[in-house]
Amino acid sequence: MRLTLPLLAAMVMPTIAPAHPHVFVEAQVTVVFAEDGALGVRLDWFYDDLFSLLVTTDLGIDMDGDLILTSAEQQLLDTQITAWPPDYAGDLEVSQNGVMLALAEKQDHSMTYEGGRFHEAHLRLVPELTDPDAPVQIRVYDPSFYTAYDLRRPVLIEGRDDCTAEVIPADLDAAYALAEDLLEGQDPNAVGPDEYFPAIGDAFADTIVVTCAGLL
């Protein structure tokens, strides 16, 4: 079977304590402006220690515990994360004026093992904007809230010096209240990995607002 990190997450979930969410990732977002004006979003995901340990065990890599992968182990890791499942959208949403923008396939995809944690990186281009004058909103989230993303500050911008990135934090109290209501009073933190959880991961997501002095 060909494995991907989202699939590995499903495989190792039974080993993790039954609390929702189940995987914790620090997300560094870099807004990239190419020389031709194209907009892209580079994501650097840093997975939590426990999940990283479980994946190394599942794949049979770093079994000596020195936190360094051999070339063969790195090659195995690369082959496992090259392809995403067809129904996996990449946990990234880019919009303008409330309209979701299409995203190109990922580029420059890599996975490294650093200090006992996995670091996954890739670039998503935005082929077409709806309004060159309007700010761009970016959110990184798992719709199922299986994975919780903690946004690193500051959001980085490359390729232009006339743009700013404001982070609007999610209202977590409102998000958990919504989850509890949809779960008919069940504690959202007590939902196990195989139990139903409403697809409201967006309610837990911070919103990045990118504004530029000139046209996008």
What mean pLDDT is predicted for residues 112-120?
Answer: 94
Candidate from 18-22, 34-38, 172-176, 212-216 with smallest mean pLDDT: 18-22
Distance CA 47, CA 150 (A): 10
- Domain spans of the chain, in order of start: 5-212
The answer to whether 120 and 45 have CB atoms below 8 angstroms apart is: yes
Q: Mean pLDDT in the chain? A: 90
| pLDDT of the residue at 57 | 87
Query: Which are the contacts of 138, defined by CB distance < 8 A and separation ≥ 6?
Result: 29, 31, 41, 92, 93, 94, 155, 207, 208, 210
Which residue do the tokens 């008919």 mark? 184
Candidate from 106-110, 121-125, 192-196 with smallest mean pLDDT: 192-196
Residue 3's pLDDT band, with cuts at 50, 70 and 90, is very low
What mean pLDDT is predicted for residues 108-134?
Answer: 94
| pLDDT of the residue at 2 | 33
What mean pLDDT is predicted for residues 210-215?
Answer: 94
In this predicted model, what pLDDT tens digit does every residue of 64-115 receive, in sequence order?
A: 999 999 999 999 888 887 778 888 899 999 999 999 999 999 999 999 999 9
What are residue 137's phi and psi, to 5 degrees?
-105, 135
| pLDDT of the residue at 85 | 81
Output the six-digit token pair for 196.
């139903």
- Output the pTM of the full model: 0.91
